[in-house]
């Protein structure tokens, strides 16, 4: 089960680990101001990096895989997942890569973590009870509470900015679709309904809309819907390669995402919130994943 979950989790987060890569050449947009944390295997295995304009800084250094960075609401810390202790666990570090602290400690996979809007709790996925479920914990790893209970996989939690809801993906309907629960685990509501794979990615800042990925048109594309599951809009349309991992940028004016449209490897792109004006942010022969834009206000290193 642990192996199956690890494989599904890697697919879900679109992490492509290559056995060998060429020297990368970064081509970030120097006119873009802001901090983008992301994962890349440009140095041989997945590590966490920080991109500010054309400047790329490596934040983690080890021989294991560090993936899925998530900014603290104040922008001063980054939570991430790593298999450096033999299986995926959740860690947190300062935004400059220092003061790494391990939050979970067990022999199964923990990950897909996201901060509560006030930064006091972390929602995450774990198969510690036999199958992947959604949990929450305090930011020091204590007071773990299970929110979902089903024999199928529940994964990819995303806390709404107003703090009231958590969106997640579940296979309980026979295929992975998006559900919504209250932050305490009650009042489950199904938002999407199809025979493909839907995964929530990031809420709009006012909690009114939700970015998500779906392969409903034959391959993964980026979509946007209202928080009640209505008004679904397809933002990318790339029949040959996958478009995944969207996140809001520049206060909601832009969206960063990952696509395999550059020679088949996954690079970071930016587009307007309506899907137009796509700009490639990285150009290399490695794979990037999970770009997340740092909060504009609050503390910084």
Residue with tokens 């790339």: 238
Confidence band of 151 (pLDDT split at 50, 70, 90) = confident
Contacts of residue 93, Cβ cutoff 8 Å, sequence gap at least 6: 59, 60, 77, 78, 80, 99, 100, 101
Q: Is the pLDDT of residue 1 over 70?
A: no
Domain count, the chain: 1
pLDDT tens by residue, 176-188: 999 999 999 999 9
Tell me whether residue 243 is in a domain.
yes
Tell me whether residue 213 is in a domain.
yes
Rounded CA-CA distance 53/30 in Å is 4
Contacts of residue 16, Cβ cutoff 8 Å, sequence gap at least 6: 41, 265, 266, 287, 289
CA neighbor of 283 nearest in space, from 22, 17, 10 = 22
Tell me whether residue 299 is in a domain.
no
Confidence band of 297 (pLDDT split at 50, 70, 90) = low
Tell me whether residue 301 is in a domain.
no
Say what the pLDDT of residue 22 is.
Answer: 29
What average pLDDT does the segment 145-173 reach? Answer: 93
Q: Is the pLDDT of residue 245 over 60?
A: yes
Which range has the worst mean pLDDT, 20-29, 108-117, 198-207? 20-29
Structural domain that includes position 156: 2-293
pTM beyond 0.95: the answer is no
Tell me whether residue 288 is in a domain.
yes
What average pLDDT does the segment 290-295 reach? Answer: 96
CA neighbor of 247 nearest in space, from 61, 38, 65, 64 = 38
C-alpha dihedral (12, 18, 79, 214), degrees to nearest 10:
-20
Q: Is 167 helix (H, G, I), strand (E, B) or coil?
A: strand
Q: What is the mean pLDDT of the chain?
A: 88
Tell me whether residue 300 is in a domain.
no
Q: What is the CATH number of the domain that holds 245?
A: 2.120.10.30
Tell me whether residue 178 is in a domain.
yes
Does an H or E element contain 40, and which? Answer: strand 36-40
Say what the pLDDT of residue 33 is.
Answer: 65
């Amino acid at each position: 089960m642990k192996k199956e979950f690890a494989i599904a989790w890697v697919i879900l987060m679109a992490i492509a680990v290559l056995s060998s890569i060429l020297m990368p050449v970064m081509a970030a947009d120097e006119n873009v101001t802001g901090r983008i944390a992301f994962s890349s295997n440009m140095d041989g295995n997945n590590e966490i990096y920080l991109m500010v304009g054309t400047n790329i800084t490596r934040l983690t250094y080890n021989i294991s895989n560090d993936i899925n960075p998530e900014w603290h609401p104040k922008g001063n810390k980054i939570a991430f997942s790593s298999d450096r202790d033999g299986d995926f666990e959740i860690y947190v570090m300062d935004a400059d890569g220092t003061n790494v602290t391990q939050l979970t400690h067990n022999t199964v996979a923990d990950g897909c973590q996201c901060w509560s809007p006030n930064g006091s709790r972390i929602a995450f996925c774990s198969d510690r009870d036999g199958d992947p479920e959604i949990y929450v914990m305090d930011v020091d790893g204590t007071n773990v509470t299970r929110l979902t209970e089903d024999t199928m996989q529940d994964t990819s939690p995303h806390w709404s900015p107003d703090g009231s809801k958590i969106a997640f993906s579940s296979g309980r309907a026979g295929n992975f679709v998006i559900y919504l629960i209250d932050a305490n685990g009650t009042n489950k509501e199904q938002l999407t309904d199809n025979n493909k794979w839907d995964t929530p990615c990031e809420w709009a800042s006012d909690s009114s809309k939700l970015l998500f990925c779906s392969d409903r048109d034959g391959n993964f594309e980026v979509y946007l819907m209202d928080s009640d599951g209505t008004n679904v809009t397809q933002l990318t349309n790339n029949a040959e390669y996958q478009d995944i991992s969207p996140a809001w940028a520049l206060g909601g004016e832009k969206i960063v995402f990952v696509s395999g449209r550059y020679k088949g490897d996954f690079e970071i792109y930016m587009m307007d919130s309506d899907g137009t004006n796509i700009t490639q942010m990285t150009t290399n022969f490695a794979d990037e994943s999970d770009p997340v834009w740092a909060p504009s206000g609050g503390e910084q290193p």
